Amino acid sequence: MTPITTPCDLNHRSLARFPVSKTIALSQRLLFRRAFRTPRLRLLFKDIEHLLRLAAVMLIALVAFVVLRAAVVPKSFGQYGHYRGDAIAELAARPVAHAGHEVCEGCHTDVVDQKKLGRHAGLHCEVCHGPQARHADDPASVKPLLPDTTVICARCHEANSAKPHSFPQVASADHSGGLSCNTCHQPHRPKIEDRGKPATGAKK
């Protein structure tokens, strides 16, 4: 291998005193001087290295911003508007707690027949029985508790001057004296005269 020799000019003077960076800076200056011959422009770009350095920093910052933004902002953001589009499907995926009366009525047809004859025909099952989606999913192992009629009936029928006057109301202390409501009333068909009547299409 031949040793690397220092380049020299035609007069055999070493060029080592002209380092590479200095040479580049010099050539840039020459280039720009040739490009902008008018003195005003030359004055404007006389410190072109500073401007180039600044431009490089800004370019790096811009690239970093674009890359970071792509990494951080969720893919579905802006799908429908200024929010995460996937959030809609996530919210819709939550499991239900109340099964809905159609589900209850699929199995408990006897209660439906009983109920539709009385004043409580319009009431859905989960008004009194509470959320039963878990029971509907697994009727064998999840058994609903029977509601306490003294509490559940009073919530609607306890007298209150703010309730519509046409709504049937009682002051339970006077009305039943502490007895539970289902002593006399059958909640699915509450009118006392109806008690014991056959549930469906009575044949006389």
Among positions 15, 43, 49, 131, the unique one binding another protein when judged by CB under 8 A:
131
> Quick one: 61 or 97, whose CB is closer to another protein?
97
List the interface residues with another protein, window 25-84 (CB under 8 A).
74-77, 80-84
**In this structure, what DSSP letter does residue 200 have?**
S
| Candidate ranges 17-25, 123-131, 141-149, 188-196; the one touching another protein (CB under 8 A) | 123-131
How many helices and strands (H and E) does the chain possess?
Answer: 10, 0
Interface residue with another protein among 39, 122, 178, 201 (CB under 8 A) is 122
**CB 131 within 8 Å of CB 98:** yes
What is the distance, to the nearest Å, from the Cα of residue 101 to the centroid of all Cα atoms in its chain?
27
174 binds another protein (CB under 8 A): no
Identity (one letter) of the amino acid at 79? Q
- Structure token pair of residue 29: 């200056």
| C-alpha span between 139 and 104 (Å, rounded) | 11
Q: Applying CB under 8 A, which residues contact another protein?
A: 74-77, 80-84, 86-98, 100-101, 122-124, 126-127, 130-131, 154-156, 158-164, 167, 171
